């Protein structure tokens, strides 16, 4: 299975030009992916720099025929002109693998009067791979507030413990057609996205700390490149937005039981199709 995780900034490249289809084409050039996980995808947010289209989730579906496109909205705000279309900002998963279950998790948003912030979300899809079902989660944590980032890390870890409980103690479906489906979820997971947490930071260390009663998370890149520091992933080429300098804040984590299935994890440092650099993961 090949997966690409990328904060695409609504298709805006390092020079400020918006073309989401071009960004998707660039992702396809990097890998013949089975799963594409994107952050900063919009609907009804044409006021953003560069003027993204009215529904980027539809754009993704048109660009990737044969893929299932899933959305999860974090910030959901009224229009500025009184029209019924809302301004929505969130994450997307596009996959050509069969999808068994989709869960949209609103992440904690504790009050922090010192920092601008928005509602954040994690999108979870249970996909069928050649090695069995696997949970894929894409997320985008708060940028300005450390308090909120740490709360969101804690919630992602709690969700892993919840999934382990469902894996160990599944409940049966009520029937074959209703919404009370079987609760079994695979314990194995890939969690990726823009964590807005610098490599080695408090939030990063908290996320990979051991978990009780569930396999914890390992950083796929550092596992495959022991003793090395990962490349910078944000602000490498877009120095106008990142005037304070580039950093490493985009990661692909896998549960520790997947460690022996890791084949490659690379951060592409050449593309300028976003203000972030994409990560390409390959799993057996």
Letter string b/e over residues 95-108, b meaning 16 or more CB atoms within 10 A of that residue's CB? bbbeebbeebbebb
Can you give the pLDDT at residue 35? 98
Owning domain of residue 59: 2-283
Give pLDDT tens digits for 59-88: 999 999 999 999 999 999 999 999 999 999
Closest-CA residue to 254 (of 233, 223, 229, 279): 223
Indicate which CATH number applies to the domain containing 184: 3.60.10.10
Can you give the pLDDT at residue 86? 97
Cβ–Cβ under 8 Å, residues 24 and 53: no
Report the domain count for the chain: 1
160 three-state secondary structure: helix
Stretches in the chain below the pLDDT threshold 50: none
Instruction: Work out the mean pLDDT of the chain and round it to a whole number.
Output: 97
Cα distance between residue 170 and residue 128, in whole Å? 18
The backbone torsions φ and ψ at residue 169, rounded to the nearest 5 degrees and listed phi first, read: -135, 65
Cα distance between residue 200 and residue 217, in whole Å? 14
The DSSP call for residue 223 is H
pTM of the model: 0.97
Give pLDDT tens digits for 170-189: 999 999 999 999 999 999 99
């Amino acid at each position: 299975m090949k997966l690409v995780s990328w904060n695409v900034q609504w298709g805006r490249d390092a020079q400020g030009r918006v073309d989401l289809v071009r960004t998707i084409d660039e992702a396809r050039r990097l890998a013949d992916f089975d799963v594409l996980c994107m952050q900063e995808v919009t609907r009804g947010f044409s006021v953003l720099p560069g003027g993204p289209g009215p529904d980027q989730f539809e754009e993704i579906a048109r660009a990737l025929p044969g893929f299932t496109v899933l959305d999860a909205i974090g910030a959901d705000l009224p229009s500025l002109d009184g029209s019924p279309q809302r301004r929505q900002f969130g994450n997307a998963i596009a996959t050509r693998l069969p999808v068994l279950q989709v869960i949209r998790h609103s992440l904690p948003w504790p009050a922090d009067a010192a920092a601008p912030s928005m509602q954040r979300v994690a999108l979870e899809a249970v996909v069928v791979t050649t090695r069995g079902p696997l949970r894929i989660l894409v997320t985008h944590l708060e940028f300005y507030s450390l308090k909120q980032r740490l709360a969101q890390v804690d919630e992602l870890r709690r969700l892993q413990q919840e999934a382990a409980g469902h894996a160990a103690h599944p409940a049966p479906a009520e029937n074959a057609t209703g919404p009370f489906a079987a609760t079994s979820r695979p314990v194995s997971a890939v969690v990726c996205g823009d964590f807005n947490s610098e490599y080695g930071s408090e939030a990063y260390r908290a996320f990979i700390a051991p978990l009780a009663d569930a396999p914890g998370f390992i950083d796929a890149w550092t596992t495959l490149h022991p003793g090395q520091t990962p490349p910078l992933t944000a602000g490498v080429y877009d120095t106008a937005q990142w005037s304070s300098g580039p950093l490493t804040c985009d990661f692909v984590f896998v549960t520790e039981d997947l460690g022996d299935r890791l084949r490659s994890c690379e951060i592409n440092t050449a593309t300028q199709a976003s203000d972030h650099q994409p990560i390409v993961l390959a799993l057996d």
